[in-house]
Amino acid sequence: MTISVRSISTAVPPTVIQQADMRDLLLAQPERSRLARRLISAAFDASAIDTRHTVVSDLAPDSPERLDPGADGVAAPFFVDPADGHVLSPTTRPRNDRYVAEVPGLILDAARGALAASGGLGTADVTHVVTASCTGFFAPGPDYVLVRDLGLPATTRRLHVGFMGCYAAFPALSAARSICVEDPDAVVLVVCVELCSLHLEASDDPDVIVASSVFADGAAAAVVTGRPAPEGHLVLDLDTLRTTLTPVGEQDMAWTIGDHGFEMVLSRYVPSIISAHIRGALDPVLAEIGTGTETAHAEVPRWAVHPGGRSVLDKVQDALALDDAQMAPSRDVLREHGNMSSATILFILARMLQDAADSPAPGEPEQVCAMAFGPGLTVESALLTLRRSDGGDCVSGDEQ
Do residues 156 and 205 make contact, with C-beta atoms less than 8 angstroms apart? Answer: no
What's the Cα-to-Cα distance from 391 to each of 2, 125, 184, rounded to whole Å?
A: 12, 18, 16
Give the relative orientation of helices 310-320 and 270-286 as an angle to the nearest 10 degrees: 50
Rounded to whole angstroms, how far apart are CA atoms 317 and 326?
9
Give the relative orientation of helices 34-45 and 19-27 as an angle to the nearest 10 degrees: 180
Residue from 134, 166, 196, 369 carrying the catalytic annotation:
166
What's the Cα-to-Cα distance from 271 to each of 54, 123, 129, 310, rounded to whole Å?
A: 26, 41, 34, 9
Rounded to whole angstroms, how far apart are CA atoms 261 and 273?
27
* DSSP states along 287-344: GGGSS-HHHHGGG--EEEE--S-HHHHHHHHHHHT--HHHHHHHHHHHHHH-B-GGGH
Active site residue 166: yes
What separation, in Å, do the N-terminal and C-terminal C-alpha atoms of the chain show? Answer: 14
Say which amino acid occupies 204.
D
Rounded to whole angstroms, how far apart are CA atoms 60 and 80?
9
Reported as type and span, the H/E element at residue 380 is strand 378-388
Do residues 195 and 165 make contact, with C-beta atoms less than 8 angstroms apart? Answer: no
Task: Give the residue numbers marked as catalytic.
Answer: 166
